[in-house]
Every structure is written in structure tokens, then in C-alpha cells.
């Protein structure tokens, strides 16, 4: 077997494992205490995934581009659920990227960018979700978009 293929398979396994761990830890946090009484009882589809889970990498980027300005516009209302869903989509990006034929270095950049976005968006009162940060958000999305080839085959491959 091709070593590159085995590397991608191992990255996918690790990615799936990390996503599973994150999904287990999200409802109550790592400490086992309730997560600030936030409702994370998301509607699940027939496969047990939250109904807002994107189909693939490109769909995830598109969803984030739509969700960010909506969160920014949610002034004076509780936007905790919107931010939690936004963060979860960001967490799925490396998994979706691992399902493509990108190089390991590109995947590592995607992972690093996602960690940066998550760190910026980690609190419900984060300044990341302010209109002044829109340019920074667009820069992150452009970087993430450039790391994955924009081919029609990508959408089909990731949807499998």
C-alpha cells in the first residue's frame, strides 16, 4: 500500500477519534459538571449527527460564512446556542479535510487555523463575534478555502 494513503487513513482515524471525544465532552465539559446550563440537546438526524452538520468541507465553510454575520447581528439576545454550533462546525473542518486528498502539511495548517478560531471564539462574550472582527474572520475563511482544492469532485468525495 502507498504510505501516503496510510498516513491519510491514520489522520482520518485520529480526526474521527478527536471528534468523538469532543462530542462526548461538549454536553457536560471535561469535568462532568453541567456546561453553564446551556442547551446542547441538538436535534439528531437518522445517523445520530446534529441536524446542522455540514455535508463536507466546502459546505462547512459556506455555513460558517453565513453563521458568523448572524451571530454578530444577535445583539442583546442570548447567542450561546449559535456560538456552540459555530464552534462545532469549526471542529469538524479537520475531519472533513482528512476525507479529501490534501497533503498532510495542508491538513496541519487547517487544524492549526481551526484551533486559532476556536480559541478566539471560546467564550460566549468573545470579542471575536463583533462586527470589527469581520475582516479577520474573512481572512481565516479565505485561508481555509485556499487549502482545499475547489473541485466539483471534492463535494462528491466528502459527501460519501
How far is 31 from 25, CA to CA, in rounded Å?
9
Q: Which residues of 94-130 are buried (b: 16+ CB within 10 A; e: fewer)?
A: bbbbbbbebeeeebebbbebbeebeebbeeeeeebbe
- Closest-CA residue to 137 (of 74, 82, 90): 90
DSSP string covering 128-139, please?
GGSGGGHHHHHH
The answer to whether the CB of 57 falls within 8 A of the CB of 148 is yes
What pLDDT does residue 2 have? Answer: 59
Q: Is residue 131 part of a domain?
A: yes
Helix, coil or strand: residue 44: strand
> What DSSP element (H or E) covers 107?
helix 104-120
* 73, part of any domain: yes
Report if residue 128 sits inside a domain.
Answer: yes
Looking at the domain assignment, is residue 116 inside a domain?
yes
In the chain, the number of structural domains is 1
Q: Does any domain span residue 38? A: no
- Confidence (pLDDT) at 7: 65
Please report whether residue 129 resides in a domain.
yes
Task: Tell me the pLDDT of the chain (160 aa) as tens digits.
Answer: 556 655 666 666 666 665 665 655 555 444 333 333 344 577 887 778 888 999 999 999 999 999 999 999 988 788 889 999 999 999 999 999 999 989 999 999 999 999 999 998 886 567 888 888 888 899 999 999 999 876 554 444 445 4
Task: Give me the domain span that covers residue 126.
Answer: 3-27+53-159
Amino acid at each position: 500500500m502507498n504510505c501516503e494513503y496510510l498516513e491519510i487513513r491514520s489522520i482520518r482515524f485520529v480526526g474521527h477519534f478527536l471528534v468523538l471525544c469532543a462530542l462526548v465532552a461538549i454536553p457536560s465539559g471535561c469535568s462532568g459538571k453541567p456546561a453553564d446550563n446551556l442547551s446542547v440537546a441538538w436535534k439528531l438526524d437518522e445517523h445520530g449527527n446534529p441536524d446542522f452538520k455540514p455535508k463536507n468541507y466546502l459546505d462547512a465553510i459556506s455555513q460558517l460564512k453565513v453563521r458568523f454575520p448572524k451571530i454578530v447581528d444577535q445583539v442583546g439576545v442570548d447567542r450561546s446556542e449559535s456560538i456552540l454550533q459555530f464552534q462545532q462546525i469549526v471542529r469538524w473542518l479537520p475531519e472533513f479535510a482528512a476525507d479529501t486528498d490534501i497533503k498532510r502539511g495542508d491538513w496541519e495548517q487547517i487544524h492549526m487555523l481551526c484551533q486559532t478560531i476556536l480559541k478566539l471564539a471560546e467564550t460566549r462574550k468573545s470579542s471575536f463575534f463583533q462586527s470589527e472582527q469581520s475582516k479577520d474572520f474573512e481572512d481565516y475563511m479565505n485561508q481555509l478555502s485556499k487549502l482545499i482544492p475547489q473541485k466539483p469532485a471534492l463535494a462528491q468525495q466528502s459527501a460519501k
